[in-house]
A = this chain, B = another copy of it.
Amino acid sequence: MEEKKCNVLFRVEGGEDVSVFAFLGESLLDAARRANLALDAPCAGNGSCGKCRVKLLAGTVKSGPDRHVSPREFAEGQRLACTSLVISDIEVQVSGTALAYRDRIKVSGRGAARERNIFRALQKNLREMGLERDSGLELAAVKLEDPKNGDPTADRERLLRKIAAQTGLAREDIGFSLHALRRIPQALRQADFSLLCVLRREGAGREEGSKTGITVMDVFPGNASPPPVIAGLAIDIGTTTVSALMADLLSGEILTTGSAGNGQIRYGADVISRIIESTRPGGLERLRSAVTEECVAPLIRDMSETAGLRPENIYRIAVAANTTMTHLFMGVSPEYLRLEPYVPAFFESGPLKSAGLNLGAHPDADVLIAPAIGSYVGGDISAGVFASMIFKKETLSLFVDLGTNGELALGNSEFIMSCACSAGPAFEGGDISCGMRATDGAIEACRVNKGTLEPVITVVGAMDQKPIGICGSGLIDLIGELFRCGIINAKGKFIKEGKRIRRDEWGMAGYVAAFAEDTAGGRDVVLSEPDIDNFIRAKGAIFSAIRTMLAVLDFDVGAIEDVYVAGGIGGGINMQQAIRIGMLPNLPLKKYRYIGNSSMHGAFAMLTARRAGEMISGISRGMTYLELSSHPGYMDEFVAACFLPHTNGALFEQAE
């Protein structure tokens, strides 16, 4: 790369122009990243996903047509940013979503009724296990005497004396957050020296007789109206999606839910790309801030606003994420996760403070991180396994979390083994040309008529929502249907022709799930052979991981009594289709249960019941971890599973 610089002007659809200098020969994608423009590039810029499409308006880039950009599109100026090298000053048009990490944040008030029901059920489960609601936080009313001439005792010391008397604690076991100290003088004098204090009990949750104490986290005037809310936040940091839930820690009520795309996506779709990026100069900090300052902090701000609170009213936070995401969120290098012998920097971290992580919540809010089990089986799984309750059952259960990083656990109340496989982002719509997250406009379910080959689709959103793309659950359905109707063969290749079936100039076939005129984007929603290839690899990774674990533990598949399928991949999974395509084992449907975002549910349990956190730590320490990548049999299993449903058809004989 020479030192000569070119000026790149990004014209953002519906937004402000952004300009940046690019080195001669630098890719447009790298230039866009430096300009903080988030061009979707799930393949990390190696030209394979075709998502980073831009339109050249002026100037010259070095590039050519490829399988993602047809000669006609190329002539119109369409380019992939990752394969276009800057060789002059240029002007390009980029999609409005490039500016949209902030805008992509979706806050949903109190969340869908269905979601609220899941959490109500979870809280009931926790109570039945003897895990009462206990975040360690409480609200205490305190009334002081007015200060008088002749008694110049300071506000804090008078309050301390009173709290010591009310709690029976020694004065030296009562501390004050700086945030509270700053608020005491005004709050005291707004309500005639009566206060409402947010107290946090320290240590008491651990063991009987262990050290205890109280921190005064915040103070409000005694007559504050509405009365102060002690809010807490559960966060699930996925490789692709960040989800959060805000709850009132005293009542257990859900206040708001929200989600955002993980801002790290512009550095690659899977954890390996992120780890590689983190080892580049400044990369670790770029990735840390992409998830924190760009996603989590704004989510906290927006969700607080929706709930009518200030971010400082969040006094406790629980985070569940895979091992790489946890490292990056904390600003710890994940470099050695991908180098033999695959050692994480930490499994557990102890409680951190919100201020140290730049979250913008109460600066002294405890941030609890769900403990990891292995390099690629993280806190999302220890939290998810807890939420699935498989550790309570004597019979054998399988737990499957479908995400960019597919994670599995197999076990019962005696033992649990876990493993991870790199499924890639297909379940969340990544690496699929028409793929998308399970938000408005996503095709989440689909039936195909075997005679006419015409589809009937279900779309996320309002009644009249037109489709934009396909999310994970829709992909499982559609591929299952194409296979069932004999449109594609066991290798995922098209073997029928028809109005819905297209072939491009390279001979690649695809199925048009929605014609341009019926879509919200005005572009055909097409599932192509390369998309199906990507999806088959994803489902193959999951199935071969299940097979390998069963083999290592010497169990027959029939020994599995319950299968819990988790993941935020859509409105639920059609288990029959998942079995049909060979993603999940051929077991009676009644053994299957879709349990949603179990990582978030586990984080919620940690948030609201301190003993749940201890139990999750206990689960994580007791789980064994199977490193698939160094297991000799796995690769053969994977290759065998990259068919519909499998090279060994006998495994799925009863499926049709």
Is the CB–CB distance between A156 and B625 below 8 Å? no
| B149 and A332 contacting across the interface, CB-CB below 8 Å | no
User: Chain B: which residue is nearest A336 at the CB level?
Assistant: B185
**Contact between B206 and A172 (Cβ–Cβ < 8 Å)?**
yes
Contact with B along A322-349 (1 / 0, CB 8 A): 0000000011110110001111111111
A211 in the interface (beta carbon within 8 A) = yes
- Cβ-defined contact, B335 with A154, below 8 A: no
> Which residues of the other chain, B, contact A157 by a CB distance below 8 angstroms?
346-348
Nearest residue in B to A173 (C-beta to C-beta)? B211
Closest B residue to A174 by beta carbon equals B350
Q: How far is the CB of A334 from chain B (nearest CB, A)?
A: 9
Interchain nearest-CB distance for A637 vs B (Å): 21
A149 and B345 in contact (CB under 8 A), knowing A186-B333, A330-B182, A356-B363? no
| A389 interface contact, C-beta 8 A | no
**Nearest CB to that of A185 among chain B residues?**
B345
User: A159-178: contact bitstring with B at CB < 8 Å (1 yes, 0 no)?
Assistant: 00000000000001001101
CB atoms of B350 and A175 under 8 A apart: yes
Q: In the assembly, what is the distance between CA of A345 and CA of B160, in Å?
A: 12
Q: Which residues A174-196 have CB closer than 8 A to chain B?
A: 175-176, 178, 181-182, 184-186, 189
Interface residues of A in 612-656 (CB under 8 A from B): 625, 627, 630
Known contacts A176-B349, A178-B356, A330-B178; decide if A335 and B152 are in contact (CB<8 Å). no
Among B175, B182, B345, which residue has its beta carbon within 8 angstroms of that of A181? B345
Decide if A340 touches B172 in the complex (CB within 8 Å).
Answer: no
Chain B residue at minimum C-beta to C-beta distance from A186:
B333
**Is A152's CB under 8 angstroms from B625's CB?**
yes
Interface residues of A in 201-215 (CB under 8 A from B): 206, 211
In the complex, chain B residues whose CB is within 8 Å of the CB of A348: 156-157
- Residues in B with CB closer than 8 Å to A154 are 343-347, 372
Interface residue? A355 (CB, 8 A): yes
Which residues of chain B are within 8 angstroms of A182 by Cβ–Cβ distance? Answer: 330-333
Is the pair B345, A152 in contact by a Cβ cutoff of 8 Å? no
**In the complex, which residue of chain B has the Cβ closest to the Cβ of A375?**
B152
Given A156-B348, A347-B156: A335 in contact with B185 (beta carbons within 8 A): yes
Interchain nearest-CB distance for A171 vs B (Å): 10
Contacts known (A343-B154, A356-B355); A185 close to B375, Cβ less than 8 A: no
- A343 and B153 within 8 A (CB): yes
Contacting residues, chain B, for A349 (C-beta < 8 A)? 156, 176, 178, 181
CA distance A356 to B345 in the complex (A): 26
Task: Give the chain B neighbours of A150 by CB distance below 8 A.
Answer: 341
Number of A residues, CB within 8 Å of B: 52
Given contacts A154-B347, A156-B347, contact A330 B149 (CB under 8 A): no
Are the CB atoms of B152 and A627 closer together than 8 Å? yes
Q: CB-CB < 8 A to A114: which residues of B?
A: none
Which residue of B149, B184, B342 contacts A630 across the interface (Cβ within 8 Å)? B149
Q: Which B residues touch A342, using CB under 8 A?
A: 152
- Complex Cα distance A347/B182, Å? 13
Is A461 located at the chain interface by the 8 A CB criterion?
no
Question: For residue A206, which residues in chain B have a CB less than 8 angstroms away from its CB?
Answer: 172
Q: Find the residue from A155, A175, A357, A375 having the highest chain B CB count within 10 A.
A: A155
A276 within 8 A of B: no
Q: Mark A238-279, 1 if CB is under 8 A from B, else 0.
A: 000000000000000000000000000000000000000000
- B186 and A343 contacting across the interface, CB-CB below 8 Å: no
Choose from B153, B211, B343 the contact partner of A152 (Cβ within 8 Å).
Answer: B343
- Bound Cα distance A630, B355 (Å): 43
Contact of A340 among B149, B155, B175, B364 (CB under 8 A): B149
Report whether B181 and A341 are in contact in the complex, using a CB–CB cutoff of 8 Å. Answer: no
CA distance A345 to B219 in the complex (A): 13
A602 within 8 A of B: no
Q: Which residue of B lies closest to A341 (CB)?
A: B149
Let me know if A151 is at the binding interface, CB within 8 A: yes
Most chain B C-beta atoms within 10 Å of own C-beta, residue among A185, A211, A372: A185
Chain B residues whose C-beta falls within 8 Å of the C-beta of A356 in the assembled complex: 178, 355, 363-364
A596 interface residue per 8 A CB criterion: no
Q: Which of A332, A333, A340, A374 has the most chain B CB within a 10 Å cutoff?
A: A332
**Mind listing 27 A-B residue pairs with CB under 8 Å?**
A147-B343, A149-B340, A149-B630, A152-B341, A152-B344, A153-B347, A154-B343, A154-B345, A154-B347, A155-B336, A155-B343, A155-B345, A156-B349, A157-B347, A172-B206, A176-B346, A176-B349, A176-B350, A178-B356, A181-B330, A182-B331, A182-B333, A184-B345, A185-B335, A185-B336, A186-B333, A356-B364
**12 further contact pairs, Cβ within 8 A, besides A148-B341, A150-B341, A151-B341:** A147-B343, A152-B343, A154-B343, A154-B347, A155-B344, A157-B346, A178-B352, A181-B332, A181-B345, A181-B346, A182-B332, A185-B336
